[in-house]
Amino acid sequence: MNITDILDEESIIAELTARDKKSVLEELVSVLFEHGRVKDKEKPVEVLLERERLGSTGIGDGIAIPHGKLKEIKGIICSFGRTKAGVDFQSIDEKPTHLFFLLLAPEDSASEHLQALARLSRLLKDGHLRKRLLEADSKKELYRIITEEDAHYTSP
C-alpha cells in the first residue's frame, strides 16, 4: 500500500486553523466530508476522540497519526494537515505537533489499517521529509513531496 493510494491532494490542509486536539480532528474530518469521502462529520470525530482517550496518537517529532475505524466506509482514507505554529496533541515527547496524517479504515480491515500506519510511521521517521513538509509553500507542494517520498519506499 502506498500513501498516494489513500491520500489525494484535495484532502490536504496546508495550514490548519485549529489550535487544540478536538479542533484538529474536526478540521481533518471536514476536508474528507467536503469531498464526499465520509458521509458525516460527527461519527468520525467521535471515533477518533475515543481512540485518543486510549492514548495519544502523537508519536513525537512533531507528528500525529490519529486513526480509527468506521463501518460506513469501504476503504482506507486519509487526510493530511499541517500547522507551523504547532498544537498540544499530548504527544509522547510532550512537544507541539505540526504534521497530522488522519487515517480512517473500515471496521473489518485490521491488516490494511496496520499496513497504512506502518507505512506512514516509516516515511515520517525521515527528519529531512518532516523538514520539507514544514517548509512547503502550498497544498500542491505538500502533495508533491509526499508523492515523491512515497515513491522511494517499496510497499511492505
pLDDT, tens digit, for every residue of 90-149? 999 999 999 999 999 999 888 888 999 999 998 999 999 999 999 999 999 999 999 999
Provide the residue ranges of all domains of the chain, joining segments of one domain with +: 3-152
What pLDDT is recorded for position 111?
87
Cross-strand pairs, 82:
99
pLDDT at residue 82 above 80?
yes
Residue 154 has pLDDT above 80, yes or no: no
**Of 152, 144, 52, 39, nearest to 102 (Cα)?**
52
Catalytic residue among 67, 98, 113, 128: 67
Residue 67 is a catalytic residue: yes
pLDDT averaged over every residue in the chain: 94
Alpha-carbon gap, residue 93 to 22, rounded angstroms: 19
Strands (E), the chain: 12-13, 58-60, 63-64, 67-70, 77-87, 97-106
- Provide the CATH topology of domain 3-152: Mannitol-specific EII; Chain A (3.40.930)
What's residue 155's pLDDT? Answer: 46
Structure confidence at residue 156 (pLDDT)? 46
